[in-house]
Structure 1
Amino acid sequence: MIVYLETERLVMRRFTADDVELLVGLDSDLEVMRFLTGQVTPREEIENVVLPAILAVYAEHQELGTFAAYQKADGAFVGWFGMQPTKDPEVVGVGYRLNRTAWGKGYATEGTKALIDKAFGELGMDRVVADTMAVNHRSRAVMRRSGLRFIRVYHEHFDDPLPGTEFGEVEYAVDRRTWEAGRRA
């Protein structure tokens, strides 16, 4: 396994074409998908759309993408963390999706902080952004604990909106200068 990023308790690596089962397991939990699609992701969609899209990002952006995360202690798959390209080459978007068994253990914050540190410290990014549904209070708390700051509420149109969509989406971000100031404090 080639390690992309390591934290105190997690190790992250690129996904491979052999990782369909990991993604199927993760996306088959309705609670995990509650604020994303509100439904499980069908296996054929993971095989034909989701995983190929993950692999395609690696080909275009060597240091960015979606990374499988494992507990160091026992090697258990906990989910994924992502650092995605945006329209601005100096800005990346961070996110995560964790198995419910990994919730409430600080992994989301630990992994997100590590991605932010890598974005600024190694990749020379100027800004890191993240978003979620306004009603997704647990993810919003992770964003705050990770050093991201609330920027705005915005509304998007969805043909089949999830419960809570009417309250909008929220954007959080941190810029290089703020990140550096926090490291000196």
Structure 2
Amino acid sequence: METERLRLGRFTAEDVDLLVELDSDPEVMRFLTGQPTSRAEIEGVVLPEILAVYAEHPELGTFKAEDETGFVGWFGMQPTKDPATVDLGYRLKRTAWGNGYATEGTVALIEEAFTELGMEWVVADTMAVNHRSRAVMRRSGLRFARLYHEYFEDPLPGTEFGEVEYALDRQTWEAGRRA
């Protein structure tokens, strides 16, 4: 898949270093785990899980994002319990922040979900205090759906304010395209 400035493709077993570099930045991981992901976890858990989703759901998964300079992060379109719904997400290198890539890639995934994959809903979630990701969701056309609380044994700062879910259904998306 390509956008105006991004190429999205599958990760391979050789992409460990890209994921280690991305997940080693504490600011990138701030609202996710709060700490870098170890190389061992990327090699033994993260990358194998990414590759397993491709095998089970060929159109879905976590897609490597590149611009003209190279790797900038990833965008995800994950399966959910409902086969007509996908869960969107992204993770970008800090050097890619502020360039509109998050919105550009998310809009492309929404269009792919509705036009090519026949999905009825797309959803995305983040910590309520993650205002930058919430802004990306709004700019991408997703709408606030709910605030909810999860229990975490080792919660990140801000967890007490909850998680938010944004969503968009096919009918609303289509109406927006016609407007």
User: In structure 1, how many angstroms separate the alpha carbons of the residues matched to 2:122 and 2:146?
Assistant: 14
SS, match of residue 32 in structure 2:
coil
Whole-Å Cα distance in 1 between the matches of residues 118 and 145 of structure 2?
Answer: 22
Listed as ranges, the matches of 1:58-69 within 5 Å are 58-69=54-65
Secondary structure of the structure 2 residue equivalent to 1:55 = helix
> Displacement, 1:55?
0.1
User: For 2:131 and 2:98, how far apart are their aligned partners in 1?
Assistant: 13
Superposed CA deviations along residues 49-70 of structure 1, whole A, max 9, x for unmatched, are 0000000000000100000000
* Distance (whole Å) between structure 2 residues aligned to residue 182 and residue 46 of structure 1: 39
SS in structure 2 opposite 1:156? coil
- Aligned residue pair count: 179
CA RMSD of aligned residues (A): 0.4
Structure 1 residue 122: Cα displacement: 0.5
1:14 aligns with 2:30: no
What is aligned with 1:164? Answer: 158
What is the rounded CA distance, in whole Å, between the counterparts of 2:88 and 2:161 in structure 1?
A: 22
TM-score w.r.t. the length of structure 1 is 0.96
Amino acid at match of 1:12: L
Residue in 1 that maps onto 2:124: 130
| Cα distance in 1, alignment partners of residues 110 and 80 from structure 2 | 15
- Aligned residue number for residue 36 of structure 2: 40
Counterpart of 2:167? Answer: 173
- Where structure 2 has 5 or more consecutive residues not aligned to the other structure, the ranges are none
Displacement after TM superposition at 1:12 (Å): 0.6
What is the distance in 1 between the residues matched to 2:43 and 2:57? 21
SS of 1:67's equivalent?
strand
Cα distance in 2 for partners of 1:86, 1:180 equals: 22
Letter in 1 for 2:52: A
1:88 CA displacement: 0.3
Structure 1 residue runs of 4+, over 2 Å off? Answer: none
Structure 1: gaps of 5 or more residues: none
Matched, 1:121 2:115: yes
TM-score, normalisation: structure 2: 0.99
Pair 1:84 & 2:78 matched = yes
Q: Residue deviations 1:22-69, cap 9 Å, x none?
A: 000000000000000000000000000000000000000010000000
Determine what percentage of the aligned residue pairs are the same residue: 79
For the pair 1:95 / 2:84, whether they are aligned, the reply is: no
Report the Cα distance in structure 1 between the residues aligned to 2:135 and 2:98, rounded to whole angstroms.
11
Hey, what's the Cα distance between the residues in 1 that align with 2:8 and 2:165?
A: 25
Q: Please give the per-residue CA displacement for 1:97-151, whole angstroms capped at 9, x wherever unaligned.
A: 0000000000000000000000000000000000000000000000000000000
CA drift at 1:91 = 0.2
> Aligned equivalents of 1:182 and 1:119: distance in 2?
15
